Chains A and B, each alone.
Chain A
Amino acid sequence: MITQNAKMADISIESIMQQYSDMVYRLAYARTRNKADAEDLFQEVFLKCHKANQQFSSEEHCKAWLIRVTVNLSKNHLASAWQKRIVLKGDPSWNSTKYSTSPSENDKGEVFYAVMKLPEKYRIVIHLYYYEDYSVSEIANILNRKDSTVKTQLFRARELLKQNLKGEYDYV
């Protein structure tokens, strides 16, 4: 745990990895929907963090930086995946048996698969809102988007989820 009292400038990459490995990996997976790409992305993010020798003023600064870098680097992955003719972005034909390679995914519920079927721009806001508990304004800040854009994306994502999910869910 990185404490608030610790001088963030002195925090080692090992400490950052210890605290944010799961967060970065989950975000990478939510973006790429693919274990191999998520693992590549994971390594790239922390190597970038190390090479950049980034100074962080707080835990939130560190976390937001890692999220932004993960999202930015994942654009390259999505682009190269497209070049390899693996259509991921908004592909309604995506299904777990075709793309999932993580053995732990067998125990996932319908919510997981419904989110994974969403276009990538919706998956990221859903993940930051529902998993990382960021507010609309915070997501807009991190992703450099307008609040209204994030609101639109959350709204559209929920609409698609309602269509795809059998169960009744409260989307608060």
Chain B
Amino acid sequence: MFRKEYKKDFNSVTPDINLVEKTKQRINNNTAKKHSEIQKRFVAAAVAICFLIGVGFMASNLIKPAFALVAFADDGGGQLVNIEENTQVILPFGKISRGERDFYPDETGKKVYTYDVGFDSGGISVKGKNISSVKYTSEIGEFRFLHPIPQRQIDAEGKEILTTYYEELGNKSFDVNWIPWDAINIVSEDGSVDFADLPSDNVTIEVFFKNGEIMIKHLKLSFNNDGNLIAKIITK
């Protein structure tokens, strides 16, 4: 049996203990460096905070709620791209690409030709203060939200997702993945394709603040000729 043989062969492919220790060491060094930088910044930040608290306290009743839209790649969350008003931006995720043409036989034995499709996963999120929840609605795409509290519910996915703020997660509470299944299907189907002609998606982001206010932004997501995902905030 292929599965049994493959597992038997691959069972002995294991990392050296030295590699594991070296990796742990690199992680520890990284943590120590991070802590050192944090300590240096702490003193400067403490001085600044004292000043800002005074100013902030006075201004808190005058500032209206606001939020920013950001996009992230799914390979570690390092690169965040701001999606500003009145600009068009290439996002750090969502690049779609076409690979080789291949086939598989359907139930009748007929060859079904498809193309490999590459899609760099990632998503969008919201940054801001005093946000209690965010609702994302997509016209043709799909959202995925990996629920941070396992005891409460399992991961959710669909055209409409409501994310709720969790203290321990901070801004990450509002991270959702976006997947354009229509575009992926079109690129995988046999025949020529122009990425710029792929269907664009209109996404609505409703932000609910703790004081009861609601703010809405509309986002248009489309692909350019190279398959990069482009975002633009649109005014309705």
B220 proximal to A (CB < 8 A):
no
Contact present for B102 and A72 (CB under 8 Å): no
Count class of interface residues, chain B: 35 or more
B150 proximal to A (CB < 8 A):
yes
Q: Which residue of B has the minimal Cβ distance to A106?
A: B12
Q: How far is B148's CA from A121's CA once the two chains are assembled, in angstroms? A: 31
Q: Which residue of A has the minimal Cβ distance to B96?
A: A144
Known: A42-B19, A58-B150. A148 touches B6 (CB 8 A): no
Q: How far is B148's CA from A7's CA once the two chains are assembled, in angstroms? A: 9
A-B CB pair tally, cutoff 8 Å: 164
A residues contacting the other copy or chain, number (CB 8 A): 63
Which B residues are in CB contact (< 8 Å) with A29? 13
Contact present for B76 and A51 (CB under 8 Å): yes
Contact present for B104 and A52 (CB under 8 Å): no
B27 proximal to A (CB < 8 A):
yes
> How close is B165's CB to chain A, nearest CB, in angstroms?
13
Q: How far is B77's CA from A80's CA once the two chains are assembled, in angstroms? A: 22
Identify 13 new A-B residue pairs, CB closer than 8 A, beyond the known A61-B155, A145-B117: A4-B150, A7-B150, A25-B15, A43-B26, A47-B26, A57-B148, A68-B121, A104-B14, A107-B12, A109-B9, A144-B121, A155-B103, A172-B1
Q: Which 4 A-B pairs have the closest CB atoms?
A: A112-B9, A169-B2, A48-B76, A25-B15
